[in-house]
Structures are given as structure tokens and as C-alpha cells.
Amino acid sequence: MPSTVLGLPLHPLVVHAAVVLVPLAALLLIATAASARVRRWAGWLTPALATIALILVPLATSSGENLEGALGDSPLVETHADMGEQLLPWATAVAVLSFALTWWDRRSATASAGRGGSRGVAAVLAVLAVVAGIGASVEVALIGHSGAKAVWSQQAATSGGQGDGDDH
């Protein structure tokens, strides 16, 4: 995988896409789990968005490993990299549950009413979807915070801890 695009590091470019799409897919998953109206409106949009988000996660991780190699050893970067590895299971859960919820909704709409287990399965899928959506969103926030801390601590170290002289 290339480490730069047009002279810019690839990692921040991919990460910004993942930072937007993973929580967006998670939020849409939670909304579809909570509302049949949203499920009907969103249709296959939720699984499609979740799949794109899922694809971005290993790209972000891989590009981050390239950048980490270029930056050298730093405890903050290492912490960020370790945390970044934890997002893939959450993004996978969001994608799988978005497909399962959409498939189950379509199946239930065409099946005859009155199946005993139908509501139970839908409830379990909804609970799992909410947990996965919240977990993925929290994980993105924690990873992003650790990445920002790593970048800005390196910025402060390379500038000698000097600000712009405006100490309020």
C-alpha cells in the first residue's frame, strides 16, 4: 500500500473517511434497529454504508502501520496503533448486524404473520445492533483522541514546546 498520495500521508486521508463513515453507519444501524419506519426508508443503505466503513478500517490500520514506521518509536503512537487494532471487530459487528437486521426485516415482511420466534429474533438483533453501534462509535472516539494526542504531543516536542507566544 502506498504511504502517500500526492505527497500527503495516506493515513490521515483514510482515517478521516473512517472517522466519518464508521459512526455514521453505527448511528444508522441504531436508528434502523429502533424504528421500522427508518428500516423501510434506509433499506439496503445501512448495510452498504457499513460495508464501506468496514473496508476503510483495515486500510486505515495498514496505512497507519506505514506511518508508524516512518515516525519511529513513540509510546503515544504505539498506544494509538494498539487501539486502532480494536476497531475491526466493532466495524465487523456493525456490518454483519446491518445485513442481518435488513435481511430479517425483509424476510419478516414477506412471511406470514404470527410466527412465535419472529419478535424474539428481531429483539435480539436490535439489542445487538445498539450495542455494536455504541461500541463502534465509542471506539472511534477513543482511537481518534489517542491519535490526536500522539500528533499534537509530537508537534509540541518538535517546536520545542513553544507556542505562538500568546499564552492566555
For 72-103, write each residue's pLDDT tens digit. Answer: 778 888 888 889 999 999 999 999 999 999 99
Q: How far apart are CA 24 and CA 62, in angstroms?
A: 22
139 found inside a domain:
yes
164 found inside a domain:
no
Q: Report which DSSP code applies to 144.
A: H
66 found inside a domain:
yes
168 found inside a domain:
no
Domain of residue 41: give its range: 4-109+118-158
36 found inside a domain:
yes
Cell numbers given for 163: 507556542
The pTM of the full predicted model, rounded to 2 decimals, is: 0.83
Cell numbers given for 78: 504505539
**Res 163: pLDDT:** 47
Q: How far apart are CA 45 and CA 122, in angstroms?
A: 19
165 found inside a domain:
no
84 found inside a domain:
yes
55 found inside a domain:
yes
> What's the number of domains the chain is made of?
1
**Res 155: pLDDT:** 58
**Res 124: pLDDT:** 95
3-state secondary structure of 67: helix
Residues of the chain with pLDDT under 50: 114, 163-168
Distance of CA 80 to the CA centre of its chain: 15
